[in-house]
Amino acid sequence: MNILVCVKRVPDTGAKLRLTEDERAVDTRRLGFTISPHEECAVEEAVQIIEREGGEGVVLTLGPAEAEEQLRDSLARGMDRAILLEIDGEDWDPQRTAEAIVESVRREAASGHQYDLIIFGNESADSGGYQIGVRVAHALDLPCVTGVKGIDIRGGVLQARREIAAGWEVYEVQMPVVLTTKEGLNLPRYPSLRGTMGAKKKPFSRSSPSHSEGDLRLQRVLHPADQGKEVEILGEGPAAAPRVVELLEKLGLLE
């Protein structure tokens, strides 16, 4: 079973978002970087499937040279090989990003690497476009199930479960297939020391796709209007309990 997982490097923003002076991005000068939890689950799922069934797990990103960090992290968690589609400057729009990923998959296929499964996050952590996986699936003429929180593979048929208001719905599809996943699919492992050491020696390829402008063009990012709450401190330590209970009474929560 050969599996491709696509991840995106995003700032680990914590409690406060600062913007760059040109107001086109988050100021990342004092931030670490990560990938979306949805994508972490995609990586974990790929590693688990390959542990069971054998095969190769490839992790891909389109991003700056520094995105090597996120790819190495996925290698440390058990993926076998990484592909960096290196770009400089700003994020590409979803159409162009999908095209670059499709081109890479086609190049891989031409050199004998076919994927049985291609996994994306349901949405990217920062931009949340909800579309790159679906675009790639159509370009490759593959079926696509989005928002997946449960996967079961038997004899070339993949069962994908997804959560709906009424419970779960199940889709059965013939592989190869494209999936987009949501956190909750599994509990991702932390990379082991051995994994981290090993990741440095795993195959890593770089190429630079060429860019053209897309039809969704970011102009500016801005903060939403602040609700501006003024906190009322009810007290310190256990001594605050009576005042909290008064509050519960006031809110009508003790009936």
Partner 1 sequence: MILGIIEHDRGVIEATSLQMLTLGRGLAEQTGTSLEAALIGDDAASLEETIKPFGMAAIHRVTHPQLDDYAPAAWAEAVVQLGRARGAQAILAAGSDRGNEVLAHVAAKTGLAMAANCAQVEAGDVYRVLRLRWGSSLLEEAELSGEIKLLSVAPHTVEATEARCDTVTVEDFEPTLSEADLRVKVTRRDETASSGVTLKTARVVVGGGRGVGSAEGFAVLEELAAVLGGIVGGSRVATNNGWRPHTNQVGLTGTRIAPQLYIACGISGAIQHLVGCKGAKHILVINTDREAPFFSKADYGVIGDLHEVVPALVAEVKKRG
Ligand X SMILES: Nc1ncnc2c1ncn2[C@@H]1O[C@H](COP(=O)(O)O)[C@@H](O)[C@H]1O
Output the furthest CA–CA distance in the chain (Å, rounded): 71
Cα–Cα distances in Å, from 83 out to 11, 60, 100, 105, 226? 20, 5, 12, 10, 40
Q: Which is nearer to ligand X, 216 or 241 (CB)?
A: 216
Binding residue for ligand FAD, selected from 1, 125, 132, 148, defined by CB under 6 A: 125
> Which amino acid is it at 1?
M
Residue of the chain from 37, 143, 195, 214 that contacts ligand FAD (CB under 6 A): 37
Contact indicator for 149, 161 with CB cutoff of 8 Å: yes
State yes or no: residue 84 binds ligand X (CB under 6 A): no
Residues in contact with ligand X, counted by CB under 6 A, come to a total of: 23
Please answer whether residues 149 and 37 qualify as being in contact, where contact means their C-beta atoms are separated by less than 8 angstroms: no
Q: Which does 22 bind (CB under 5 to 8 A by kind): partner 1, ligand FAD, ligand X, none?
A: none
Which of positions 118-137 make contact with ligand X (CB under 6 A)?
A: 120-121, 123-124, 127-133
43 interface partner picked from ligand FAD, partner 1, ligand X, none, CB below 5 to 8 A per type: none
Q: Is residue 6 a contact partner of residue 35, using CB atoms and an 8 Å limit?
A: no
Residue 61 binds which entry of ligand X, ligand FAD, partner 1, none, with Cβ cut-offs from 5 to 8 Å by kind?
A: ligand X
Q: Rounded to whole angstroms, how far apart are CA atoms 253 and 243?
A: 14
Residue 130 to residue 164: CA distance in whole angstroms:
17
* Residues 42-71 interacting with ligand FAD (rule: CB under 6 A): none
Residue 110 site contact among partner 1, ligand X, ligand FAD, none (CB < 5 to 8 Å, cut-off depends on kind): none
Among residues 80 and 123, whose Cβ is nearest to partner 1? Answer: 123
- From CA 72, how far away is CA 78, in angstroms rounded? 10
Let me know: does 179 contact 144? Beta carbons within 8 Å: yes
Q: Which two tokens stand for residue 30?
A: 């004092």
Which among partner 1, ligand X, ligand FAD, none contacts residue 217 (Cβ within 5 to 8 A by kind)?
partner 1
Site residues for ligand X per CB under 6 A = 6-8, 36, 38-39, 60-63, 94, 97, 120-121, 123-124, 127-133
